[in-house]
Amino acid sequence: VLHSTRPLHTSQQCSAPVPPLPEKGGEVRHGLIPEEFFQFLYPKTGVTGPYMLGTGLLLYLLSKEIYVVNHETVASACILAVIIYGVKKFGPDVAAFADKLNEEKVASALAVKNEAIKDLETAIEQEKKEQWRVEGRSYLFDAKRNNVAMLLETNYRERLMTVYSEVKKRLDYQLAMQNLKRQKEQDHMIQWVEKSVIQSITPQQQKESVAKCILDLKALSRSAQAAA
Amino acid sequence: GPLSEQRLMDMKLGQLPMWLATCDFSPRGLLGGVQKAWSSYYDKYINVKRGGPAGISMLLAGYCLLSYGWNYQHISKISFLVSI
């Protein structure tokens, strides 16, 4: 009935941490009566007041038979004895076990938190390293610019070399052509001159030259004979 | 007003009728009162880090007393011929 119409999120959102649970519960004496009762009666009746009150109440209930003593009394007495013995004997062990469970829960939560903090710290360091790397960006680009300039220079020089070799080839060709032409002209002229000379030698001239040669040869032989 | 906001234990005896007058006795109010009482008891004795036997032992003792009170009519009629 109450939960369906309860308004939610009415107060301001508060990001303060949840207050921790109290360490120990309220003080209780003999496991049954809260300490506040004893403090309440202390100013008027001192320390023994509540015990006197308890004894008087008990005797009154017994004598007036408001509390009837029957088989249930014996049964409850035995049960109470067993319960008290069990609590006194195994209480601390159970308490230690429960404490250990709590410790494990808290430790796992703490481990998660520490893990998260460590991961974030490594992330921060990596981020700082990346920021440091950014500073070296200018050097990187300078090196790249140098590389590109080098490539351009190399390419330019290669092409210059190509141009030079091509032009030289063409000039060599022209030179060879001229040489060849001159050679051919020379050969042709020599041939033509020889042919015309041979043609111009008439048989008359041939006979005269042959006789002259024989005369020369005789003279030569004579001089050779004289020398030897 | 401020009278109804204070708790029952902080009242003086003379102010008790006035406090009872300001109380809300509708079913919804009673349910709210029961819830407040239970939550204050729970937060004081049970919802702690290292509780003891006091939390539930007081509940059990209260249950014993209540059940004795409900069955008093039946218990007071002791049968005299049980042992014979």
- CA–CA min distance A38, chain B (Å): 15
Round to whole Å and give the CA distance between B60 and A26. Answer: 17
- The 10s digit of each residue's pLDDT in A95-135 is 999 999 999 999 999 999 999 999 999 999 999 999 998 88
Domain ranges of chain A: 27-68
Cβ pair B28:A1 closer than 8 A: yes
| Mean pLDDT, all residues of chain A | 90
| Comparison of pLDDT for A178 and B79, the residue scoring more | A178
Interface test with A, best of B9, B26, B42, B49 (most A CBs within 10 A): B49
| Comparison of pLDDT for A169 and B40, the residue scoring more | A169
Q: Which of A20, A33, A100 is nearest to B47 (CA)?
A: A20
The shortest CB-CB distance from A25 to any of B31, B45, B75 is to B45
CA Rg value for chain A: 67
Q: Chains A, B: CB contacts under 8 A, how many?
A: 62
Q: Is the whole-model pTM more than 0.90? A: no
How does residue B73 score in pLDDT terms, banded at 50, 70 and 90?
confident
- CA–CA min distance B25, chain A (Å): 15
Neighbours of B33 (CB within 10 A): 14
Round to whole Å and give the CA distance between A46 and A67. Answer: 28
Which 3 state secondary structure label does DSSP give A34? strand
